[in-house]
A and B are shown apart, each in its own frame.
Chain A
Amino acid sequence: MPKRFSSLARKAIKLRLVLFVLTVFGVSRCGIAQNTPLLSGGLGFFTSTNGGATSYLPIAEPLVAFPLGNSFLVESRATLLESFNPKGGGQDGYNHSHLVALTYLQGDYILSPHITVVGGSFLTPFATYNERLSPIWIGNLQDGPLIAGLGVMQTATGLGGQLRGSAISRPKFSIDYAAYFSARSGNQQFNSARSSGGRVDLYLPKQRLEVGTSYGRLLQGTQENFYGIHVWWEPKDTGFRLRSEWARGAHGQGYWAEADWRMMQFGGYNSWIGRLEPVFRMQQTFNIGNVGGDPLPAVNTQRADFGLDYNLPHNTRILTSYSRQFSSTKDVNIWETGVTYRFLFPAWKGK
């Protein structure tokens, strides 16, 4: 018995030594200059008055990125919100609900100059809004486009693997891609549909023009195809951006086109006028065959959003907008105001 105990003790010491070495190695790799893990994200408070009913939404979207070695990165974003909505039906007061959820949690491995392997729970790479513009500290308007749910396979995240990267990068043009496969998952934090798809973008740096196309196929239930096209144009030195998308599913389609202009010509980027940013977005949705299923309004809808954002110092933005939405069921006015703050700092003290 003592002999066996001694053997176990020796193994425990060895195990501790291995763990110690691994810990020191890990910390030293993570703590090297420039590669300290970061904590970023956004805090926001939004109000929305839709058809006379006002809702309130305090929200936090933290993001962590944790590099390991020279080629690996673990990153995750979460959403924490509390929503206050009027009870309606002649009742006073508000109902409130909360949500705490992982938006994505993925590991990225840079396999070669042209291929990055992504595994885990990732944002579905369809069109542009989901991957690029959905964080609260990036979007110019509080609401996403009406077609934001098209092609992102119900949950906007996939659980599986993805290959992506820069296929060709030349001074006059570049082509990048993303291709994924997602398994079906009913897990509360990693809910996803069985699907596959991808996106290809062509970017012309001189013209600052991007054109891309997306494809997705839902591989569960009634299998459906989704198609998307996006065009972005951001002329150099103007502060102007034009972004647009069209997407089509089996039961509906639509587009949005958004223009925003940072008024930097009036006194510079950080002058009080240069911090103003008018925004206009036009969008329409069309149902196909009067069959539901796609995450679009039940009837054909048109909407115009007029926004005015103000970019305060210290990564703080004020977002205001008025929207008029037209549909055969009801025309509504939507007034929205909000403030967002973006934070970005090292996750811990380093050298």
Chain B
Amino acid sequence: MNREQLLQYATAIVVLGLCVAGTAQTQQSKPAQNSPQAAKQQPTATHANNQNQSEGQTIFEQNCARCHTPPDGFSPRISGTIVRHMRVRANLSAHDEQELLRFFNP
């Protein structure tokens, strides 16, 4: 990659980043009901009434939702299979796997 191409690549990232930075700043000052924690649907039918963001939910947002939107819901009977699949695909640590499983099956 020569200098000019590297510059183009870096510029594209920086410009896109700056475009949203202002938006992000504005949105963080808005009330909590607009946050995805309040608005997002929980990933399992069994997981409800979670006022405080658990560690498992954070891990879910950081690792699973990094690539794809959360599914509308799924059976708790496959939560262990999903977590194991995600452990391999997203290279989760053993701790993250346990917290994620607890999040799906509180």
A100 at the interface (CB under 8 A from B): no
Tell me whether A186 is interfacial, beta carbon within 8 Å.
no
Residues of the B chain whose Cβ atoms lie less than 8 Å from the Cβ of A345: 74-75, 78
Dominant secondary structure at the A interface: strand
Let me know if A224 is at the binding interface, CB within 8 A. no
**B13 contacts which of A36, A166, A205, A231 (Cβ < 8 Å)?**
A231
For B23, list chain A residues within 8 Å (CB).
238, 240, 261
Contact of A239 among B12, B36, B77, B105 (CB under 8 A): B36
Given contacts A34-B79, A345-B78, contact A238 B12 (CB under 8 A): no
> Are B79 and A233 within 8 A (Cβ)?
no
Chain B contacts with A in 57-98, Cβ cutoff 8 A: 58, 61-62, 66-69, 71-72, 74-82, 84-85, 87-89, 91-96
For B48, what are the chain A residues with a Cβ–Cβ distance below 8 Å? none
Chain B residues near A303 (CB-CB < 8 A): none
Query: A208-247 vs B: 1/0 string, CB under 8 Å?
Result: 1010000000000000000000011111111111101010
How many A-B contacts at CB < 8 Å in the complex?
172
In the bound complex, what is the Cα–Cα distance between A314 and B35 (angstroms)?
21
Is the beta-carbon distance between A138 and B67 smaller than 8 angstroms? yes
CB distance from B36 to the nearest CB of A (A): 6
Q: Counting CB contacts under 8 A, is A154 at the interface?
A: no
Residues of B within 8 A of A350 (CB): 77
Number of interface residues of B (CB under 8 A): 56
Cross-chain contact of B12 among A174, A236, A255, A314 (Cβ < 8 A): A255
Chain A's closest residue to B61 (CB) is A236
Interface of B, secondary structure class, is helix
A299 at the interface (CB under 8 A from B): no
Which of B5, B17, B87, B101 is close to A242, meaning CB atoms less than 8 Å apart?
B17
Residue of B whose beta carbon sits closest to that of A309 = B69
Interface residues of A, count at CB 8 A: 77
- In the complex, A142→B41 CA distance in Å? 25
Which A residues from 297 to 351 make CB contacts under 8 A with B?
311, 313-315, 342, 344-346, 350-351
Query: What residues of A have a CB within 8 angstroms of the CB of B24 in the complex?
Result: 235, 238, 240
A269 within 8 A of B: yes
B51, CB-defined interface residue at 8 Å: no
A-side interface residues toward B, CB under 8 Å? Answer: 33-38, 65-67, 73, 75, 108, 110, 113-114, 116, 118, 131-133, 137-138, 164-166, 169, 174, 176-178, 201, 203, 205, 208, 210, 231-242, 244, 246, 248, 253, 255, 257, 259, 261-262, 264-265, 268-271, 274, 280, 282, 284, 286, 311, 313-315, 342, 344-346, 350-351
Excluding A237-B28, A238-B24, 17 further A-B contacts by CB distance (< 8 Å) are A34-B76, A34-B79, A38-B81, A38-B82, A75-B85, A166-B91, A178-B91, A205-B58, A242-B20, A244-B9, A257-B12, A259-B19, A268-B34, A284-B8, A344-B71, A345-B75, A346-B75
Residue of B nearest to A133 (CB): B67
A259 touching B16, Cβ below 8 Å: yes
